[in-house]
Structure 1
Amino acid sequence: MATARRSTSVRVGILVFDGVKLLDVAGPAEAFAEANLLGASYELVLLSPDGNDVVSSVGMRVSVNAAAADAANFHTVLVAGGDALPVKQVPAGLVAAAGHLANNTVRMSSICTGAFVLAAAGLLDGRRATTHWKHTQELALRYPATQVEPDAIFVSDGGIHTSAGVTAGIDLALALIEDDHGPDLARAVARSLVVYMQRSGGQSQFSAPLQGEPPKSSPLRRVLDAVQADPTAEHSVPVLARNANLSVRHLTRLFREDLQTTPSKYVELIRFDTAKALLDAGYSVTEAAERSGFGNSEALRRTFIARIGVPPSKYQQRFRSTAKTG
């Protein structure tokens, strides 16, 4: 990484490519542009691996200023994300471009699945990082040297910054603006863009209910089916083991081997996902607690705060409807 060297105008490079998520580019760019209206001086430069314009995820052409290899002396570089990055090998040209830019900037950052580009370039080895909640597991599997934090909105580790999905790029941009100009200007940008300065809770509050490959063990499948069929039933570990004709020790081992969790944590997760779905459907917090197996609203509240950082009432307010209430 280049040594910190600030000038009046701060150069911010955004690395784009064919299939890039348009909001990954536009969101942070608008945050920096808004900061300029409020007294900052960011110079935005759009870069691609070969210097050619690119076509975004929605089919809109994005005009590029330069090739990454021809660009230097940036203070901040952001690598945008794209749908293909978690499912295909990151193109060599894109990896090389990110590596070159990392050697010519003070702050290297990624938006959403742009973390896969940084990881492919070796920039996340031994570092903490995050990406969109759908792809945190894939990032961790593909790049085991990276310590993935699946619930973080953004992560900063040793001059490398990674953010969660799509609009989290705005959260990261606000944090970078705050580093440069202090909280007052960053707060003014947030107000102008009508976004939170710092949203409460992690990105798991946006994630879909638990899904995954079925377990290899038939007895374990029967246990999971029973829990999912009726989360309100008695699902203590001894009861689960007895219903599966297994010892508690054997059942616990199967959970650890196939699901990398414990029986009690799995039951809590199923009940949590059920409660989220009930809240989304309009049930009250009390009703959701009873119908999901938590029994009372306080137990549900503790689990929500522990898992996503916000109570169930606030979760419901955020995700139930876009209609204005009150």
Structure 2
Amino acid sequence: MSRIVFLLLPGVHLLDLAGPAQVFTTAADLGLPYTLDHIAEQELVTSAQGLPLVASRHWPELDPSDLIMVPGWRAPTLRAGPEPGPEPLERLRAHHTGGGTVASVCAGAAALGLAGLLDGRRCTTHHDLQDELAARFPRATVVRDVLFTTDDRVVTSAGIASGIDLALHLLSVRHGPALAAQVARNMVVYIRRNGHEPQAGAMLRHRSHLDDTVHRVQSLIDARFTEPLPLGVLAASAGVSERTLTRLFGRATGGLTPLRYQQALRLERAEHLISHGATRESAAREVGFDDARMLRRLRARTS
């Protein structure tokens, strides 16, 4: 069982909380072992929208498979907003030091900064707060105008609805893009993407088109991206010729071939495994490569 722990601060935005919470709840409804906890320094937290929320003051025992997420809150500036006390900040630090992942939505990035977790790392926040975040935490690299960033198990998102994108990305790298796509469909949300930013999941970047034929092929690749998938097999699954599939796929995904799409999924999954302690060789083999040489070539191509 993996825990998703939401650290709630006064004035928390409901969608910052509810969006990611719904993603992981939907994943649990589909049979994945997730449970959600809501922690605060006081039992009653008033949201930005006026709805009172009841939270626990007692932190559960966590292991590296668990996630701590800090939703954002309403305030004109980061400094004018609430700040977590010593215990939540130490919990954030200790969880990350122990191999766990921490995440934030919108202004929640400030809590990660106060815990020292943004130093030397890429991060983002709502576009209205990016300048202040950069000034307040000068050792961080603030990436502007993207939906989310990931850097060494520190994941930050832009704000409000982007928390859904962040949570779908975490599901994608942990359980595969097919599962993330299924959760998105069940939530009746469009698959989102960063567009030009490589931090976004490959599934999120290349699913925002309307070509049903390409979507069917992508769903097959999503589910079996670690296996050899010849172009002929993919074309037959969609009921089109290889030439037609190549043309449609490139038009829908901005120039990708089905093979390049599959390689992007493999690379993304391998990098996730490496960031969690796997060797390059073991990560390469788990995603379907014979050894790490192809993995190195793909990383060099995308750097």
Same fold (TM over 0.5): yes
Q: Is the 8 A contact 1:82 1:114 kept in 2?
A: yes
Partner of 1:169: 163
Q: Is the 8 A contact 1:22 1:56 kept in 2?
A: yes
**Letter in structure 1 aligned against 2:159:** G
Moved more, 99-108 or 168-177: 99-108
Hey, what's the Cα distance between the residues in 2 that align with 1:194 and 1:123?
33
In structure 1, runs of 5+ residues without a counterpart are 1-8, 204-304, 306-326
In structure 2, runs of 5+ residues without a counterpart are 198-253, 255-303
1:76 equivalent to 2:67? Answer yes
Superposition pairs of residues 141-220 of structure 1, within 5 angstroms: 141-201=135-195
How far apart are residue 85 of structure 1 and its match? Answer: 7.5
Hey, what's the Cα distance between the residues in 2 that align with 1:147 and 1:61?
35
Partner of 1:318: none
Hey, what's the Cα distance between the residues in 2 that align with 1:78 and 1:20?
12
Q: Is the 8 A contact 1:94 1:117 kept in 2?
A: no
What stretches of structure 1 move > 4 A for 4+ residues in a row? Answer: 89-92
Partner of 2:104: 110
Hey, what's the Cα distance between the residues in 2 that align with 1:92 and 1:200?
29
**Letter in structure 2 aligned against 1:168:** S
How far apart are residue 10 of structure 1 and its match? Answer: 0.7
Partner of 2:4: 12
**Letter in structure 1 aligned against 2:3:** R
Partner of 2:243: none
Hey, what's the Cα distance between the residues in 2 that align with 1:147 and 1:11?
29
Moved more, 125-134 or 105-114: 105-114
Task: Call closer, same or farther: CA 1:95–1:112 in 2, change over 3 Å.
Answer: farther
How far apart are residue 107 of structure 1 and its match? Answer: 0.6
Partner of 1:31: 23
Q: Is the 8 A contact 2:120 2:141 kept in 1?
A: yes
Task: Call closer, same or farther: CA 1:85–1:182 in 2, change over 3 Å.
Answer: farther
1:21 equivalent to 2:10? Answer no
Flag the structure with larger Rg.
1
How far apart are residue 89 of structure 1 and its match? Answer: 5.3
Tell me the secondary structure at the aligned position of residue 83 of structure 1. coil
1:98 equivalent to 2:114? Answer no
- How large is the Cα RMSD of the aligned pairs? 2.2
Task: Call closer, same or farther: CA 1:89–1:57 in 2, change over 3 Å.
Answer: closer
Partner of 2:55: 64
How far apart are residue 91 of structure 1 and its match? Answer: 4.7
Tell me the secondary structure at the aligned position of residue 172 of structure 1. helix
How far apart are residue 131 of structure 1 and its match? Answer: 0.3
Task: Call closer, same or farther: CA 1:101–1:72 in 2, change over 3 Å.
Answer: farther
Count, aligned residues? 193
Hey, what's the Cα distance between the residues in 1 that align with 2:196 and 2:10?
30
Aligned-residue sequence identity (percent) comes to: 38
**Letter in structure 1 aligned against 2:54:** S
How far apart are residue 65 of structure 1 and its match? Answer: 2.8
Task: Call closer, same or farther: CA 1:117–1:72 in 2, change over 3 Å.
Answer: same
Q: Is the 8 A contact 1:85 1:117 kept in 2?
A: no
Tell me the secondary structure at the aligned position of residue 79 of structure 2. coil
Q: Is the 8 A contact 1:15 1:78 kept in 2?
A: yes
Q: Is the 8 A contact 1:96 1:121 kept in 2?
A: no
Q: Is the 8 A contact 2:92 2:112 kept in 1?
A: no
Q: Is the 8 A contact 2:9 2:83 kept in 1?
A: no
How far apart are residue 201 of structure 1 and its match? Answer: 3.5
Hey, what's the Cα distance between the residues in 1 that align with 2:71 and 2:129?
15
Task: Call closer, same or farther: CA 1:152–1:94 in 2, change over 3 Å.
Answer: farther
Tell me the secondary structure at the aligned position of residue 129 of structure 2. helix
Q: Is the 8 A contact 1:86 1:139 kept in 2?
A: no
Tell me the secondary structure at the aligned position of residue 104 of structure 1. helix
Tell me the secondary structure at the aligned position of residue 110 of structure 2. helix
TM-score (norm 1): 0.55
